[in-house]
Structure 1
Amino acid sequence: MRFAICNEIYQGWKLEDAFEHAARTGYHGVELAPFTLAESVTDLGPAERRRIHDLARRHGLDIVGLHWLLVKPEGLHLNHPDPAIRQRTARYFVELVRCCADLGGRILVLGSPKQRSLQPGVSRAQAEEWTRATLRDAVHEAEDRGVTLCLEPLSPAETNFLNTARETIAFAQTFQSPACRILLDVKAMCTEPEPIPAIIRASWPHFAHFHANDRNLKGPGFGDVDFRPIAAALREVGYDGYVSVEVFNFDDGPDLIARKSLDYLRQTFGQS
């Protein structure tokens, strides 16, 4: 199993220092949040994209892909009643696919709970129709660029649209494209009624990426979620993608978060 870490834990660090630390700790890849790099991915020109790509490679790291896609720029939304907002969002998603591919990434994680939640008066059927239209060009671009757009099920506490793995798979399949699949996230799966290993088995082969964290918003090994049955289920289905550490509580600091999370993952996946 290959392990990656999401770069927003290194808040305030230079990208060079973050990559050096991730590599020295033992990670194989990094997952980038665009808002840590620029106000918009359109501000990252070809030269800067090559610099970031080459910087990761110099440290022996893969750039796995991008996540936290719509933190910046402001004002984007997947299924907003205003067609102009949806059109801007659709154009930006195409740019996200292009940026991901230019950086060498292969995974685009669509969480963005605030930017996908149903607005007042918008039905679920209408939201699905508008979201499909918003993402259609990006999915086509992803097919051309070798990128997979992964829709992320998130808890009802975060969003009222696409909460379970089952419904997110069903929605992803409406695109009828190998470039549109889902992501599984441990924190989010903790809110589903089924055990996490059962969700993993039922969701294969429809997920293309995996986020490791705990229900307490910290890293794997920092809470009470037992990753041993999770690791066993991933091995059982034959998942061979990245397991990325994504945390939301940075109180322990990047060094401890990165080291303890990786040590725990290596132990539970039998790679210590």
Structure 2
Amino acid sequence: MTIFEHWWNPYDPSSLILETVSYTTFKYSYICFRIIDVIELGMIRFAVCNEIFEGWSLRQVFEYVSKLGYDGVEIAPYTIAKKVTDIGRGMRESIRRDAENLGLDIVGIHWVLRGVNGVHLTSPDPSVRGRTESYLRALVDFCSDIGGRIIVFGSPAQRSIPRGVDPMDAWMWAIDIFRRCSQYAEQHGVYICIEPLRRDMTNFINTVDEAIKLIEDVGHPNFRLILDVYAMTGVDEPIDRQIEKGGAYLMHLHANDDNMGGPGFGSADYRAVVKGLRNIGFKGYVSVEILRREENPAEAVKISIENLKKFFREY
């Protein structure tokens, strides 16, 4: 039994339901500290992406970040196996169980196409697009199996429009794949979220406006938006304005900085981040995604959550 099993639903903040647990000082203290955090931080919950912990097992990651006060973990499948289809049922059940035993949510998955050959969202080859759609369905299965709800679709290389392809054709191909996969995701309680990325990373979906247009063209409630602080710092528009624009569709946020480090490691305007999230009544996860290699990842992740809690308390 977990300390609490989804003691509040981040997508339904009214459901502050504590699970019945054994009466130990630790568990009472843990719950009290979490209630204080919820009150002070305005229902914001924090997760961390696991790929920063090179060489660590997932269980080691779960144990460490739970002690730091993280509420969840976001998993990059490539850290487990080259292809998500190579991750067996036993491993999937173990991931879910280990997280639950430590009171952690598996928030979802990201870097979903990294290292996977033969897949490309905007390829002119129908067979490649077919494999991409099939693989995205497999990712939905994996995300659901481990207890996740969100698939972050970043994967800049595998979505960029190839040279010579008409951008309108690429747009329609993406819509077709995302619409069908979103219908499949709905059956599993999973959301596919498009992530605007910097122009030096991809030529497909660089701004919140472009992401909103794609979301509205796909037209399915399980196709939503994720925003990334590093990416937003590369756009000539205030961060709070970008967040507010996407508010109707925003389900998730990656917290990092303009130098690719953790939140507060650079000069990103976190006052604007907090303002934007508060203005839209954001109730999803703020997930630390450190994009650069760190000599001491454990310390970087520790400082990241300390900075985030400071920002949300002070701003």
Same fold (TM over 0.5): yes
Please name the residue that 1:66 is paired with: 109
Alignment partner for residue 103 of structure 1, among 139, 146, 150? 146
**How far did residue 130 of structure 1 move?**
1.2
1:65-84 Cα shifts (integer Å, max 9, x gaps): 00001003222100111111
Paired residues for 1:54-203 under 5 Å: 54-203=97-246
Please name the residue that 2:90 is paired with: 47
Paired amino acid for 2:181: A
Unaligned runs of 5+ in 1: none
What is the CA–CA distance in structure 2 between the aligned matches of 1:66 and 1:147, rounded to whole Å?
11
Mapped contact 2:121–2:173 kept (Cα < 8 A):
yes
Residue 204 in 1 paired to residue 204 in 2?
no
Bigger Cα displacement from structure 2, 35-44 vs 60-69: 35-44
What is the CA–CA distance in structure 1 between the aligned matches of 2:293 and 2:309, rounded to whole Å?
21
Unaligned runs of 5+ in 2: 1-43
Alignment partner for residue 217 of structure 1, among 235, 260, 268? 260
1:1-33 Cα shifts (integer Å, max 9, x gaps): 100000000111111111111111110000000
Paired amino acid for 2:233: C
What is the CA–CA distance in structure 2 between the aligned matches of 1:94 and 1:13, rounded to whole Å?
28
Paired amino acid for 2:307: Y
Paired amino acid for 1:243: V
What is the CA–CA distance in structure 2 between the aligned matches of 1:240 and 1:62, rounded to whole Å?
15
1:69-110 Cα shifts (integer Å, max 9, x gaps): 100322210011111111111100001011101111000000
Alignment partner for residue 7 of structure 1, among 41, 46, 50? 50
Mapped contact 1:79–1:134 kept (Cα < 8 A):
no
Mapped contact 2:179–2:220 kept (Cα < 8 A):
no
What is the CA–CA distance in structure 1 between the aligned matches of 2:67 and 2:236, rounded to whole Å?
38
What is the CA–CA distance in structure 2 between the aligned matches of 1:202 and 1:130, rounded to whole Å?
25
What is the CA–CA distance in structure 1 between the aligned matches of 2:66 and 2:284, rounded to whole Å?
18
What is the CA–CA distance in structure 2 between the aligned matches of 1:97 and 1:182, rounded to whole Å?
16
Please name the residue that 2:305 is paired with: 262
Could you list the structure 1 runs, at least 4 aligned residues long, displaced by more than 6 angstroms after superposition.
Answer: none
Paired residues for 1:6-45 under 5 Å: 6-45=49-88
SS in 1 for 2:313: coil
Please name the residue that 2:20 is paired with: none
Which one has the largest radius of gyration? 2
**How far did residue 48 of structure 1 move?**
1.4
What is the CA–CA distance in structure 1 between the aligned matches of 2:146 and 2:69, rounded to whole Å?
21
Please name the residue that 2:283 is paired with: 240
Paired amino acid for 1:7: N
Mapped contact 2:264–2:307 kept (Cα < 8 A):
yes
1:103-153 Cα shifts (integer Å, max 9, x gaps): 110000000110011111111101011112233331111111111110000
Q: Superposition RMSD on alpha carbons, in Å?
A: 1.3
When the two structures are aligned, how many residues end up with a matched partner?
A: 272
SS in 1 for 2:226: strand
Alignment partner for residue 294 of structure 2, among 235, 251, 258? 251
What is the CA–CA distance in structure 2 between the aligned matches of 1:171 and 1:149, rounded to whole Å?
12
**How far did residue 46 of structure 1 move?**
1.9
**How far did residue 255 of structure 1 move?**
1.1
What is the CA–CA distance in structure 2 between the aligned matches of 1:156 and 1:89, rounded to whole Å?
22
What is the CA–CA distance in structure 1 between the aligned matches of 2:272 and 2:264, rounded to whole Å?
14
**How far did residue 173 of structure 1 move?**
1.2
**How far did residue 271 of structure 1 move?**
8.1
Mapped contact 2:176–2:218 kept (Cα < 8 A):
no
SS in 1 for 2:218: coil
- Sequence identity of aligned pairs in percent? 44
Paired amino acid for 2:282: Y
What is the CA–CA distance in structure 2 between the aligned matches of 1:203 and 1:136, rounded to whole Å?
19
